[in-house]
Structure 1
Amino acid sequence: MPLIPGAEPFRHDGGEVGVVLCHGFTGSPQSLRPWADYLAAKGLTVSLPLLPGHGTRWQDMQATRWEDWYAEIDREVRTLSDRCKHVFVFGLSMGGTLTLHTAARHGAAITGIALVNPSVRADQKMIGAVPALRHLVPSVQGITNDIALEGSQEVGYDRVPLHALYSLSRFWKVVHDELPQVTQPVLLMRSPQDHVVSPENSTIVLSRISATDVTDVVLERSYHVATLDHDAERIFEASWEFVQRLGADSA
């Protein structure tokens, strides 16, 4: 199945500091490509994979599960770990969920993580009906393009496949229970006006992680897909400062 234009994965071989970037549910690498380009221009090694079932058509997600999405991130982290002295993981939305899971699983092998509007719980009331509804209705209306910046567009699906959403709901429970295992430095960037993931998700993350080095940045001018919104440059700059501080011996 051909990729949607703009949904291509991205890889840049740079120095001894590596960053794996994780895009969101039903989204694509396009939502993080400006961030990846910024970090690559700073000389970092950057991996921005396309998660299984994404970037083609929503029907292709129906056969994928959270374990498939995580396996792709895990593979990229291990690849960068073989060549980089420091490895960071950054994520948007469900990409933040994947980032937290990666941090809990890999421990000290991850130097630090950055999260943009991460999701760790079900916000919509209809989620409770998904276990049964997914056998009757294949998809519901999509969640892309929650962006305040006029003219900015996110490349992703216009439908949410319910089998995949059910798997994501199970993943939230796993990650919620793992949050105390997250001990690495954390840069959390959150939008008070988010129409996809409620701000309470970030509050939960901040209250449950065990990290003591935590930087909390509020993105006042952006909606959910803040990496394509008014605060994008602020996100990029904050993440670069985060990497410089923690990987100063290599960056």
Structure 2
Amino acid sequence: MRSSSAANRHWWDGNADDYQAEHGAFLGDVSFVWCPEGLDEAAAGLLGEVSGRSVLEIGCGAAQCARWLVSRGARVAAFDISHRQLLHARRIDEETGLSVPAAQADAESLPFADAAFDLACSAFGALPFVADPLAVLREVRRVLGTGGRFVFSVSHPIRWAFPDDPSERGLTSDRSYFDRSPYVERDGAEITYVEHHRTMGDWVSLIVASGLRLDGLLEPEWPEGHDEVWGGWSPLRGRHLPGTAIFTCSKA
């Protein structure tokens, strides 16, 4: 059977075209959107000042966030596990004239030097899909310089207790929040997609165990006038349940 990394690499290579076609307009080519709620880094400022700073984007997809950082004067490197996603990044680079240095890599073993970056960020990239998030967090700490900041967004853990359904059906819990069984798709005996569940307490413990310091936690509210549905995220559910958790960490 495939590992989580191998299965998700294969899945994203096969689904990158559809993903970019469906969500590309919402994400923008040169825009930093943290989550389906539409929280934008230009307004949120979670990373602080980025001009002149070295920034790593983890699980960059088509590098929309990294491209926005470049447009704001940051020195950026990015990576993704999917080669097909990186081909979309190259396409958008050519269309916008903003180039992002991007590599294919696995977040559990980063191909970057110690203390190479001032900031690191991940908008639903890598961390929900890896079997060993502690390895990723330790790698991020390794490549950050002293005082460096890491901000990452993931599905809010409470969502796992509810069906991934944007309708009223998605408002009734049908499983235990404490059931940490991953969501797995298979083709026969072969694993084709994996997403892992960690509770809020798990994430806090992982951050602490990695040696990073947890500085902040943001649960974005669903904004008025935002009517777009993204998978299980919707205005209906967003009025009742948090859909995203954004953690701000630093290296002491």
TM-score range, shorter chain: 0.3 to 0.5
More helix by share: 1
TM-score, normalised with respect to structure 1? 0.40
